[in-house]
Amino acid sequence: MTIHKEGFRIIGVSTLLYCLINVFSFYFLSSSLPIISWLIFLLTTGLFVFIISFFRIPRRDMTINENAIIAPADGKVVAIEEVQADEYFTDKRIQVSIFMSPLNVHVNRNPVSGEVAYSQYHKGKYLVAWHPKSSTENERHTVVYRKEGKELLVKQIAGALAKRIINYLQPGMNVKQTDEMGFIRFGSRVDLLLPLDAKVLVKIGDKPKGGVTVVAEW
């Protein structure tokens, strides 16, 4: 397991605060209020471990398959439905939504190889990620991949806790399946808009792994 580059600054600041808080606590409280001092230590240690864990990149054998659409994120499948596209596309699409809790790995990966046809950031609200309107009203970043005449849209969507969406892709780039497309901090959601003739291989409640699980075939 390694630590994602997006976490270096936050982990550095957290380490400094963790040390300062606990040095202060043990120096001023350990003799008179030892229980309080130990509670502070346990709480700050738990929070510190959580922050490090949030930015983890686990070792995985990635799935490379030119006919497959790979999960762009870890999480839980919370929606599979036919929707009317409201950005880039004007037709109907199959939407597969993956909810990412704060405990999930938050690296986002390219579901397919191909050309980046569209990449656009949108300011917005911070509704809970499972809210039906989060896909259109929350802060989000939309990417469209083009491969052999077929196109696939992916939305990184902020949640109530996610305050920064990071995306590394620009229009015209050629990208590889399962390479990093971006990162979202502290709980969020990723939507895929698939062609209607795509064969969806997951169901609601499934827990895909980013870069590993085949979500659909086209």
What local confidence, expressed as pLDDT, does residue 106 receive?
A: 87
How far apart CA 101 and CA 10 sit, in angstroms, is: 19
Kindly report whether the global pTM for this prediction surpasses the value 0.75.
yes
What local confidence, expressed as pLDDT, does residue 107 receive?
A: 92
Q: What is the mean pLDDT of residues 91-99?
A: 95
H-helix or E-strand spanning residue 68: strand 68-70
Q: Domain 68-217: state its class.
A: mainly beta
What local confidence, expressed as pLDDT, does residue 85 receive?
A: 92
Interior angle at CA 104, CA 101 and CA 38, nearest 5: 85
What local confidence, expressed as pLDDT, does residue 54 receive?
A: 84
How far apart CA 215 and CA 84 sit, in angstroms, is: 20
Look over the chain and give the mean of its residue pLDDT values, rounded to a whole number. 90
Q: Are strands 199-200 and 214-217 parallel, antiparallel or unpaired?
A: antiparallel
* Tokens standing for residue 114: 């191909």
At residue 6, does pLDDT exceed 90? no
List C-alpha distances in Å: 5 to 8, 16, 43, 99, 182.
5, 18, 25, 23, 11
Confirm whether 188 is a catalytic residue: yes
Q: What is the mean pLDDT of residues 48-54?
A: 90
Pairwise pLDDT comparison (1 vs 40), residue with the higher score? 40
Q: What is the mean pLDDT of residues 132-156?
A: 84
Q: What is the mean pLDDT of residues 102-126?
A: 90
What local confidence, expressed as pLDDT, does residue 163 receive?
A: 60
What local confidence, expressed as pLDDT, does residue 161 receive?
A: 61
Q: pLDDT-derived band of residue 210, with 50, 70 and 90 as boundaries?
A: very high
CB 157 within 8 A of CB 142: no
